[in-house]
Amino acid sequence: MAGSYASRAAMAHVFVYGTLKRGQPNHKVLLDGTHGCAAFQGQGRTLEPYPLVIAGEHNVPWLLNLPGRGHCVAGEIYAVDERMLRFLDEFEDCPHMYQRTSVRVAVLQAGGAPWGSPGPPAAEPTLQCFVYSAATYPPEWVGLPHHHSYDSLGSHGLRYNPRENR
């Protein structure tokens, strides 16, 4: 039962910042129930800055696991079940391409409504979330432009090449 306490207790929070976000090329995998359950929880941003870069021949967004560098990165928070988490590990080629790590995320909006009272970031609730980040990458990626958020059709001009076109 999707709404039962037992299933909610088994859910993990995942923070997505790139092609898995709503309106982005890979979001459809979060909607596919054959992979498990993913429920949108709201908008968020990392509490610590990280370099979010667009790199490689397919213009893939990468969150480099260099806390304290870059920007606080905007994204979306999902509650996922174990099946979806295993699917995402495979989809993100974890641990070879990305590593699933844990980050603290400020919750900016729950669903479509602002969460908490306006004020400094300390007033915002936070969640511990899994994120798919890169610990190994070409050293020159650190020098690429760091982004606050990602949109595959953004002003950066680096169009993402979807997997089905490769």
Q: Which residue, among 135, 101, 121, has the nearest Cα to 13 in the 3D structure?
A: 101
DSSP conformation letters of 104-149: EEEEEEETTEE-S-SSSGGGS-EEEEEEEEBSS--GGGGGSPP-SS
Q: Which residue, among 135, 113, 137, 127, has the nearest Cα to 46 in the 3D structure?
A: 127
Side-chain-side CA neighbours of residue 155 (13 Å): 4
Strand duo 99-110 + 113-114: pairing: antiparallel
Active site residue 92: yes
Q: What are phi and psi of 10, to 5 degrees?
A: -85, 0
- Catalytic entry in 48, 57, 90, 92: 92
- Radius of gyration for the chain, computed over Cα atoms and rounded to the nearest angstrom: 16
Q: Which residues are catalytic?
A: 92
